[in-house]
Amino acid sequence: MSFGRMPIANGFLPRERFANEYFFELAVAYCPHCRMVQLVDQPDREMMFNETYAFFSSTSSRMAQHFKEFAEYCRAKYLPAHNPFVVEIGSNDGIMLQHLARVGIRHLGIEPSANVAQVAREKGINTISSFFDEQVARRIVEEHGQADAFLGANVMCHIPYMHSVVEGIRILVKPGGIVMFEDPYLGDIVEKTSYDQIYDEHVFYFSVASISYLFEQHGMEVVDVRPQNVHGGSMRYVIAHKGMRPVTAAVAAQCAKETSWGLADASTYDRLREGIERSRSDLTNLLKDLKRQGKRVVGYAATSKSTTVTNYCGITPDLVEFISDTTPIKQGKFSPGVHIPVRPYEEFRARYPDYALLFGWNHAEEIFAKEQVFRAAGGKWIVYVPKVQVIS
């Protein structure tokens, strides 16, 4: 399926840069052989991950709590008592590693986006600015020795040269060590029609079947899977060198569910495409209708995901006045492609709109709890996952 011309999802830009904004064709496909759902084409990595990367992990308090629990789970269940060494890739501003660093655990973050890596360093987290791959893994082993745990959240699905990454993991992790990473789960994307997970940074949409197939090619196996209620439905994969750890019943059970949901059937993806097209017409019809009624609609959270929605649906500033966001680097700029102004959250609070279009739907619980006054004042939410609806 093609979503048409798309800009860089996190490429929030000033007006002066409108004229030479970069676009590529966002298209996604399913491979019946390796079971992977993946982008057909992806912009160069340096165009997405650099010293002006706009996503700082610690903007969500719910995610901060989630990663505290992730770090604690790893430490309690898998780290040896004596001098463990942990490597995390895509460590961003240190949201997860800080909890291991704090208790004196030897650690290393691998984070190519220099600005967010610097925030982590300022918190005292050892971080190198590099793109992880097999070569980097060899260098880490030479300098620090092998790791007891390899961690990643919302990063494995970002890296197109996956065989180099997985080979790097095989080399880096001790024979008895553990690999744990989590990413948005294909089963949830299909079930909820959450097509906004599809954007330049997300090159892969993993399932247990596709991850098992991938790691088996590198002498490793999935030993546990743990669904996570974050980012609209994620899966945590626990992986070890083949034969080193017992495989839990959850792995086969999840694979059986994937088969029963039709994740291996092409027709499932035809239905998904139809659902996405329906979602687009429902959302644009609603926004045009509200415009005709003279209602004010403001976007809530300038997420990466919103770039797919606004560009695919053609949501321009005449339909959405501005997008409220708490990240200073995005404020005062314009959203990629459709150029909706991004304004500080304080502007949302100062003059509530009639409707808030929830681009951060994956943080709905946290946001609804924070915005009770908006709702009490008569404000309504527009959500589009799992279906387009107004919540008053």
90's contact among ligand SAH, ligand DWN, none, with CB below 5 to 8 A by partner kind, is ligand SAH
Number of CB atoms found within 10 A of residue 146's CB? 16
CA distance 39 to 42: 7
State which residue, 127 or 335, has the beta carbon closest to ligand SAH: 127
Q: Segment near ligand DWN (CB under 6 A), from 237-245, 253-261, 268-276, 326-334?
A: 326-334
310 counts as binding ligand DWN under rule CB under 6 A: no
Residue whose Cβ sits closest to ligand DWN: 303
Number of CB atoms found within 10 A of residue 291's CB? 14
Contact (CB, 8 A) for 365 and 62: yes
326 counts as binding ligand DWN under rule CB under 6 A: yes
360 counts as binding ligand SAH under rule CB under 6 A: no
Contact (CB, 8 A) for 297 and 354: yes
Q: Which position among 303, 310, 331, 335 is part of the footprint of ligand DWN (CB under 6 A)? A: 303
Helix axes 162-172, 208-216, angle to 10 degrees: 60
State which residue, 200 or 224, has the beta carbon closest to ligand SAH: 200
State which residue, 254 or 303, has the beta carbon closest to ligand SAH: 303
* Residues in binding contact with ligand DWN, number by CB under 6 A: 21
147 counts as binding ligand SAH under rule CB under 6 A: no
Of 339, 336, 341, 359, the C-alpha closest to 23 is 336
Residue whose Cβ sits closest to ligand SAH: 90
Q: Which position among 38, 42, 92, 129 is part of the footprint of ligand SAH (CB under 6 A)? A: 92
CA distance 142 to 148: 15
Tell which positions 108-147 bind ligand DWN, by CB under 6 A: none
Burial class from Cβ neighbours inside 10 Å (0-12, 13-18, 19+) for residue 37 reads: buried
For residue 221 the two structure tokens come to 């196996």
CA distance 102 to 113: 23
State which residue, 258 or 325, has the beta carbon closest to ligand DWN: 325
The SS3 of residue 106 is: strand
CA distance to 37, 108, 241, 280, per residue, from 27 (Å): 11, 35, 34, 16
Contact (CB, 8 A) for 66 and 58: no
Site string for ligand DWN, 10-49 (x = CB under 6 A): ----------------------------------------
Tell which positions 353-372 bind ligand DWN, by CB under 6 A: 360, 362-363, 366-367
CB of 366 to ligand DWN, least distance (A): 5
Full strand arrangement of the beta sheet holding 85-89: 127-128, 106-110, 85-89, 147-153, 173-184, 234-241, 220-228
CB of 95 to ligand SAH, least distance (A): 6
305's contact among ligand DWN, ligand SAH, none, with CB below 5 to 8 A by partner kind, is ligand DWN
Residues near ligand DWN (CB under 6 A):
55, 59-60, 154, 201, 231, 301-305, 325-327, 330, 345, 360, 362-363, 366-367
Residues near ligand SAH (CB under 6 A):
49, 53, 55, 57, 89-90, 92, 95, 110-113, 116, 131-132, 153-155, 158-159
